[in-house]
Amino acid sequence: MNNLDRRTALRRLAIGASAAFGSAAFPGLTKAAAKTASAAGKVAGGGPKRVIFFMQNQGFDPRTCVPAGMTNSGSLAKAVLPEPIKALEPFKEKLHIINGLHGMHTSPSHSAFFGALGGYRGSDGVPPSASTIDYELSKVLPETLLPHLCIGMDSMENMTAKPTVANLSARGAGKPIFMHSNPNHLYQMLYGGISSGEIRSQHEAKSGMFDRIEQMAAAEGEGLPTGDKKRFNEFVQGFNDMNGLRERLGQVSDHLEKFAPEVDEGYTRPEFETDWHDRLLDLGISALKSGTTSVLTIGSGRGEIFGAWKGLGVEQQGHNLGHMEQPDNPIWVKIRQYNSRMLVKLMEELESVPEGSGTMMDNTLIVYTSNNADKQHTSGANWPVMLLGNCNGAFKTGCFTQLDGKRPINALYTSILRASGVEVDRFNMTQQMAAKYDSGNGPLTEVFA
């Protein structure tokens, strides 16, 4: 993957965003992309070409998303959405609210960490025991240059001190995936090669540094014991992947130039942390629209108990937010409304790009939930989720589904894999575990149209 030539790089980008290139540009590549997508095998009506996971920390209380008085499954057409998600009212026909999944086996407590997207036991400081659903999808959705992008939103102090952290996503047991939290660093990674001035200078300086570190690290690791050498090789591979990505992005610079966001003072002189949150979202959207990535994971609070929203007028931050009741709480209403506006922006931006006979949003699934079930101190007995998008009729939308609490979040992840062409009955759950935590088998049929 790190030795892709120019033709291979362009083919991969076309597969991820044939619509962005247009039918006139690289016609052979767009045909190949369509053929690849068809061969993947999807449920009737189509399936996702891209998936977005939006994870909010501190829990997702169902009373902030389930319409008042709605206790049984049914249509949202005549329902009034709660104030925290009011911004989604014009998009109700694209929305599916699900209540009654569980994640008790993840032992969430303050957070399930990797377990939230992995569907397994997670805890603070505990490495992932298997890959997470976002990474697995990045392997089976149409190939892109950067299959999986993770961005993490937090307080300015945390994002500055730790511009990358790994708490939510993993590519295997003991193999975490880092979230990008400094938009300046992420911009350099994605668009530094096509920029000018200071951004270009910093990009070139970092590129040379990464090359030297990779070479030195590869040589230094030879004399280590077997166990240490394996861990050291993971470190070296990280630089190798980063260098390979820079090279691949450089090969399609003319295409990327059309999607690079404008660098303003929100990047370089942010007044509040939300200035960086907004820029990170813009970069995630640009990566989707350009076809650079097919899976975007957003961690608001970065999978921990921290997080801040002073830019919304919220002075409380971090752990204290989790001890507040979310329903009718003006603080949590502001945070959830902010998230809802982000979801709306994601949908509107993807709807603005033609793809096939529709738009990019027609082929996209957005999964909004929490890495901590319904609240900060939780057993995981109820794990509310909102889905946005039907992927050409594959998923049911415009409705509310009330489940009985006997099927795990793994069943939802199995469903998304099925819609993406993967014949799987369970995701990260052995038969022994399923006997205790899952009343069914296979996908969550309630989500399919």
- Predicted local distance difference test score (pLDDT) of residue 404: 97
pLDDT number for residue 221: 54
Confidence (pLDDT) at 122: 95
Would the pLDDT of 35 be above 60? Answer: no
More confident: 26 or 98:
98
Burial of 223 (0-12, 13-18, 19+ CB in 10 A): exposed
Supply the pLDDT for residue 249.
82
Q: Is residue 292 part of a domain?
A: yes
Q: Are residues 116 and 82 in the same domain?
A: yes
Number of domains in the chain: 2
* Chain segment 285-323, per-residue pLDDT in tens: 999 999 999 999 999 999 999 999 999 999 999 999 999
Of 218, 239, 254, the one marking the end of a domain is 254
Instruction: Looking at the structure, tell me whether residues 264 and 351 fall in a common domain.
Output: yes
Q: What is the pTM of this model?
A: 0.85
User: Does residue 364 fall inside a structural domain?
Assistant: yes
d(CA 291, CA 313): 35
* 238 and 269 together in one domain: no
Beta-bridged to residue 296, according to DSSP, are: 52, 149
pLDDT at residue number 187: 92
276 & 338 share domain: yes
Last residue of a domain, one of 254, 272, 298: 254
Q: Is residue 190 domain-resident?
A: no
DSSP 9-51: HHHHHHHH-HHHH-SSSSHHHHHHHHHHHHHT---TT---SEE
> Is pLDDT at 129 greater than 90 in this prediction?
yes
- CA-based nearest residue to 67, from 47, 96, 43: 96
Query: Which pair of structure tokens corresponds to residue 447?
Result: 């989500």
Mean pLDDT along residues 102-129? 95
- Residue 202 has what pLDDT? 56
Contact 301, 155 (CB under 8 A): no
pLDDT at 328: 96
Confidence at 44, pLDDT banded by 50, 70, 90: very low
Of 272 and 193, more confident = 272
Same domain? 395 vs 296: yes
- Is 18 contained in some domain? no
171 pLDDT more than 50 = yes
Return the percentage of the chain with pLDDT > 70, whole number. 79
Give CA–CA dist 61/84, Å, rounded.
Answer: 11
Averaged confidence pLDDT in the chain: 85
Whether residues 238 and 344 fall in one domain: no
Shared-domain flag, residues 45 and 153:
yes
Are 92 and 208 contained in the same domain?
Answer: no
Stronger pLDDT, 384 or 9, i.e. the higher one: 384
pLDDT tens digits along 330-379: 999 999 999 999 999 999 999 999 999 999 999 999 999 999 999 999 99
pLDDT given at position 383: 98
The total of other beta-carbon atoms located within 10 Å of residue 204's CB is 13
Q: What is the CATH number of the domain that holds 107?
A: 3.40.720
Last residue of a domain, one of 212, 238, 254: 254
The yes-or-no verdict on residue 222 having pLDDT over 80 is no
Residues 350 and 439 in one domain: yes
Residues 53 and 84 in one domain: yes
4 occurs within a structural domain: no
The answer to whether residue 31 sits within a structural domain is no
Residue 11 domain-assigned (yes or no): no
Find the mean pLDDT for residues 207-234.
Answer: 54
The model's pLDDT over 234-290, given as tens digits with 9 standing for 90+, comes to: 555 554 566 567 777 878 888 888 999 999 999 999 999 999 999 999 999 999 999
- Residues spanned by the domain of 241: 196-254
290 shares its domain with 380: yes
- pLDDT the model gives residue 123: 92
**C-alpha distances out from residue 197 to 179, 200, 202, 263, 268, Å:** 26, 5, 9, 12, 14
Nearest-angstrom CA–CA distance, 384 and 260:
34
Q: How far apart are CA 363 and CA 360, in angstroms?
A: 5
User: Tens of pLDDT along 373-398?
Assistant: 999 999 999 999 999 999 999 999 99
The CA distance from 344 to 256, in Å, is 24
309 and 230 belong to one structural domain: no
Res 133 pLDDT > 60: yes
Cross-strand pairs, 102: 408
Q: Is the pLDDT of residue 15 over 50?
A: no
Asked if residue 358 is part of any domain, the answer here is yes
- Distance, in Å, from the CA atom of 364 to the CA atom of 144, rounded to the nearest integer, reads 15
pLDDT at 18 over 80: no
With a cut of 70, say whether residue 426 has pLDDT above it: yes
